[in-house]
Every structure is written in structure tokens, then in C-alpha cells.
Chains A and B, each alone.
Chain A
Amino acid sequence: MNLQEAVRGALADVLEDSSVVLFSQLARWGLGGMTSGLWEKYPSRVLTMPNSEALMHGAAMGMALAGMRPIVLNERMDFLMLAMDALVNHIPIWPMRAPMSLPITVIAVVGKGKGQGPQHSKNFIEWFRGLDGWRVAEPSSPRAAADEIKGAVYGDRPTLYVLHREFFKSGGECSPPVVDRVRICGASSRHERAFYEGE
């Protein structure tokens, strides 16, 4: 079982629970195999979203407040930047106000790098690790990927769940890149070489 199959299997498992909702622009139409077959089985809880990231992540909070367990899928982590008000000013602050469960799972995929360009390959994971209120999961094997989805969905706090596109077909342990700062890489092949190969 590779990473992508593990994610798909875990999403299928959690969707058996009627409080789980999975949504993104392409949850129904295909996201690297992570969601294939899920809409066919759960058409009312696998939602196509407009290209509205601010709405998507705000809506996740509103669903969770009403007792649902939302999972938002972002095909690239770069797209989270359109949703920062929900992700920074709202979601992490709410459980600090009053005791409440806020089981929001935000899945974000870090692009593979080479050729993806500067708006499809950034990794902001350290921003979220440094931000109060978020749990960050970065699974490094198919087994961990499945466990972490279940942990996030059935937990009671917001989780940013980060996948790396380059490991989707990997069946074993993989080593996510350690990033000390956000690199705006991919602007040119020269820049990519410098970042990925330490030119």
C-alpha cells in the first residue's frame, strides 16, 4: 500500500461516520487518487466547492461548531494563503474562548518542486508549528498517514495535515524535507536547482 492509497482508505473509513464531511474543489473529480470512489459512495458528504478558499476554511469552522467533522482538501499548500483569516484569526482562537470541540482537518499537499513553479511548491508547515492552536501532522509512511487522518478527524482540535506530493507512490518510510524557512522556490530552473540540489 502506498501513501496515496493509505490516505484514500482512511478517508473512506472515516466517511462511514455521518458527521464527517469531505470537501474541496476536486474531492469528487479527482485529487491524485486520494478521493477516488468516495463521492460515488457518499454523494451528500463529499462536496465540490467553488474556488473560494476563504469560504472553504471558514465553512469548516462553522460545520465543526455545529457538530460535524469537516475535512478540507487543498491540492497545494500555497492555496492556504487565500484562507488565512479563517486559519489564523478564527479557528485557533475559538477553543481558547470557551470549552469546545473543533475537529477540523485541513489537508494540504506540498508540491513536488521541480517544474511546479513558485505558487505550487511552497511549504508553510513551520508557520503552523509556530502558531498557537494548531496540531500539525506530517506523516512519513502510509501507516502513519492513515493513523493521522483518523486521529485528526476523531480528535477535538484543528489539525493541519501535510502531505508531500513526491511521496504519494511511496510504500515505506519517507523523509519529509526539513524546512527552516519558507522558500519561494521554483521561479526558474536555476532557482530550483539551487534549492533542491544545493547548487
Chain B
Amino acid sequence: MKFRERLRVYELLLQDRMREFACPVHLCLGQEDVPEALHDLLRPEDWLYSTHRSHGHYIAKGGDPEQLLAEIEGREDGINGGFSGSQSFSDPALRFHSTAIVGGLSGAAAGTAVALKMQRSNALVICCLGDGATEQGVFWESLNWAVLHALPLVWVCENNGYSVHAPLSERQGTPLLSRVGSFRATVARGAEGLRTILRGRTAPAFGEVPCERRCNHVSAMEDLR
């Protein structure tokens, strides 16, 4: 089975079992393009910083779906022994870290990129974020710094048009990509654009991939709205 189909089957299984999980669970149904590109083009030495909606990114990086399920279930054989849950966990051996704070790992991604440059490493840092994270100050702070020092950092923005239920049109006044481009980072749009960045290992760069979330924002949230 192709990667994106395996991912979809996995997420549908979680969706069926959602009421069994104590932790908030954000599925990536409909947002398979980015995980698929990461799966195809990342190298083991690369770093991946991710978001609350991280299952696809994690499995793409080589994470074990069974261990992720154990983490979601709060079991001791989970990635972080059940401490972290679905929306924010770390797998240091895999160079994978995610956060439930929107945009919260922008600075960490930039710091790792500086370290890699000092260590003369060929590894790349990927910082996944959603459209909402581009409204955080620390994202722009990090972008400024990454361009200034030509850091090996690629932002991957999955733009699903919503921050929970709030549409992009009520949150941002001008198109995102032109603002990022004005910093003179390489920018590209769509899954193919992202693949071109990753294939060429172009950095600093920003890929915006429009996508449609085909599930609730979190868990069985419609019940709570």
C-alpha cells in the first residue's frame, strides 16, 4: 500500500476509536500531501519539528505507528511512556519534536539549524506549521534570523484555511506567500513546489501547501461546539 493510503487507514482507525482516548487527538485526514512529500524526500539525518497535527509527519519521518498509538492511549510503551499524548511529543532518536503551542517550535527549529551550520552538517531542519502559526511573532523573528544567516531551515506550511473554526479571511489581511517572500526566503506553493524545495534541499525556504481538513479540528469536537 502506498504511504498516503497507509496513513489514511491509520487515521480512520483512530477516528473510529476516538472516544477511547483521553488526550486531544488531531487527525490529518485530507492533509496527506505534506506527509507524503516528507516521507519521500527527507533523509534520516534531517530534523523535523512538527505541530499538534503531527501523526502524518511522524510516520513520514520513520516513526512507528504502533508506538504512536500506544502514546495516544497513554501506555508505558508509548513514544514518551504515555506522558505526552497525541498533540505534543518527542522522539529524540528520530530527531522529531512536536508541540501543542501554535508556532511554538519556530525558534527551536532555527536554533537547531544554527547548530547544524556550526557543526558543518549537511542535515536540513524542517519546521512544519499551519496557517495559524504564521500569525505568531516568533515565526517572523525566526524567519528574519534564518534569512540573515542563510540557515538550513525549510518551513512547511499546511494551509487548511482554518484556525480551529476561525477562517483565514478573518485573520490575515494580505497573501502569506508574498509577505514571506519579501524576506528573500525561497518560496513555493503547492505539493509540487514543496517537493522541488526538498529535492533541491533549498534553504532557507518556505513551502505553502493548501489543503482541506476532512475531519474535526480535534477529537470529537463537534460535540463541544
Residues of A within 8 A of B (CB): 21, 44-45, 47, 49-50, 52, 54-68, 70, 85-86, 89-90, 94, 96-98, 100
User: A50 contacts which chain B residues (CB < 8 A)?
Assistant: 141, 144-145, 148
Q: Does B90 contact A (CB under 8 A)?
A: yes
A67 to B116: give the CA distance in the assembly, Å: 9
Q: Which of B90, B91, B107 contacts A58 (CB 8 A)?
A: B107
User: B112 contacts which chain A residues (CB < 8 A)?
Assistant: 62-63, 65-66
A182 to B78: give the CA distance in the assembly, Å: 40
A47 to B148: give the CA distance in the assembly, Å: 12
B:130-169 near A, CB below 8 Å: 137-138, 141-142, 144-145, 148
User: B108 contacts which chain A residues (CB < 8 A)?
Assistant: 58-59, 61-62, 65, 86, 90
Determine if A55 and B110 form an interchain contact, defined as CB atoms under 8 angstroms apart: yes
Determine if A66 and B80 form an interchain contact, defined as CB atoms under 8 angstroms apart: no
Q: Which of B89, B119, B125, B142 contacts A55 (CB 8 A)?
A: B142
Q: What is the chain A residue whose CB lies nearest that of B148?
A: A50
Determine if B104 and A89 form an interchain contact, defined as CB atoms under 8 angstroms apart: yes
Determine if B107 and A55 form an interchain contact, defined as CB atoms under 8 angstroms apart: yes
A90 to B4: give the CA distance in the assembly, Å: 31
Determine if A63 and B138 form an interchain contact, defined as CB atoms under 8 angstroms apart: no
Q: Does B28 contact A (CB under 8 A)?
A: no
Determine if A89 and B101 form an interchain contact, defined as CB atoms under 8 angstroms apart: yes
Determine if B141 and A90 form an interchain contact, defined as CB atoms under 8 angstroms apart: no
User: A67 contacts which chain B residues (CB < 8 A)?
Assistant: 115, 119
A55 to B89: give the CA distance in the assembly, Å: 21
A118 to B86: give the CA distance in the assembly, Å: 41
Q: Which of A64, A65, A66, A85 has the most CB of B within 10 A?
A: A66
26 residue pairs of the A-B complex, CB under 8 angstroms, read A21-B114, A21-B118, A45-B118, A52-B138, A52-B145, A54-B137, A54-B141, A55-B106, A55-B107, A55-B142, A55-B145, A56-B107, A58-B104, A59-B108, A59-B111, A59-B114, A61-B107, A61-B111, A65-B111, A66-B115, A67-B115, A67-B119, A68-B118, A86-B104, A90-B101, A90-B108
Q: Does B15 contact A (CB under 8 A)?
A: no
Q: Does B92 contact A (CB under 8 A)?
A: yes
* Known contacts A62-B115, A66-B116, A68-B115; A98/B92 CB under 8 A: yes
How would you classify the secondary structure of chain A's contact residues: helix, strand, loop or mixed? helix
Q: Does B113 contact A (CB under 8 A)?
A: yes
Q: Which of A45, A54, A60 contacts B138 (CB 8 A)?
A: A54
How many residues of chain B get a CB closer than 8 Å to chain A's CBs?
Answer: 35
Determine if B80 and A98 form an interchain contact, defined as CB atoms under 8 angstroms apart: yes
Determine if A98 and B113 form an interchain contact, defined as CB atoms under 8 angstroms apart: no
Q: Does B109 contact A (CB under 8 A)?
A: yes
Q: What is the chain B residue whose CB lies nearest that of A58?
A: B107
How far is the CB of A182 from the nearest CB of chain B, in Å?
A: 24
Q: Does B83 contact A (CB under 8 A)?
A: yes
A66 to B151: give the CA distance in the assembly, Å: 14
Q: Does B54 contact A (CB under 8 A)?
A: no
Determine if A60 and B115 form an interchain contact, defined as CB atoms under 8 angstroms apart: no
User: A49 contacts which chain B residues (CB < 8 A)?
Assistant: 145
A98 to B154: give the CA distance in the assembly, Å: 26
User: A52 contacts which chain B residues (CB < 8 A)?
Assistant: 138, 141-142, 144-145
User: A54 contacts which chain B residues (CB < 8 A)?
Assistant: 107, 137-138, 141
Q: Which of B83, B91, B99, B137 contacts A90 (CB 8 A)?
A: B99
Query: With contacts A89-B99, A89-B104 known, what are 8 further pairs, Cβ within 8 A?
Result: A52-B144, A55-B142, A58-B138, A62-B107, A65-B108, A66-B116, A86-B104, A90-B108
Ordered nearest first, which 8 A-B pairs have the shortest CB separation? A58-B107, A62-B111, A59-B111, A62-B108, A66-B115, A52-B141, A62-B112, A55-B141
Q: What is the chain B residue whose CB lies nearest that of A89?
A: B101
* Known contacts A59-B111, A62-B111; A85/B138 CB under 8 A: yes
* Known contacts A52-B144, A63-B111; A58/B92 CB under 8 A: no
